[in-house]
Amino acid sequence: MVERIFALVAEDHTGAKIARSLTEEGFRAARSKKGIPKNFVRDVRRERGISSLYETHKGVEKLESKWTVLGLARELGGER
């Protein structure tokens, strides 16, 4: 399951999306009756030093040639 989490993180999926995907694929957490909670995904990432999608893109002014709120605010000389 950990390898699957790494693969989905590499595809830029959010923690919630990863948890949903794992649950749909039949994975279950030992302490959850509802499949994989997003907190489980967060904990696995943190334990292994893998940043979340948000943490990876935080502070970025453009993503795929498109402005982020931060980037546009800086370009226009304002605050976000």
**Model-level pTM?**
0.67
Q: Domain-by-domain residue ranges, the chain? A: 1-49, 54-80
Q: What is the pLDDT of residues 29-75, one digit of tens each?
A: 888 888 999 999 999 988 998 877 667 667 778 877 888 888 888 88
Q: Determine the pLDDT at residue 29.
A: 87
**61: its two tokens:** 């002014």
Q: Pick the closest to residue 6 from 40, 55, 50, 71 (CA basis).
A: 50
How would you class 69 by CB atoms within 10 Å of its CB: exposed for 0-12, middle for 13-18, buried for 19 or more?
exposed
Q: How does DSSP assign 17-59, residue by residue?
A: HHHHHHHHTT---TT-SSS--HHHHHHHHHHTTPPPHHHHHTT
Q: Determine the pLDDT at residue 47.
A: 92
Q: Determine the pLDDT at residue 16.
A: 93
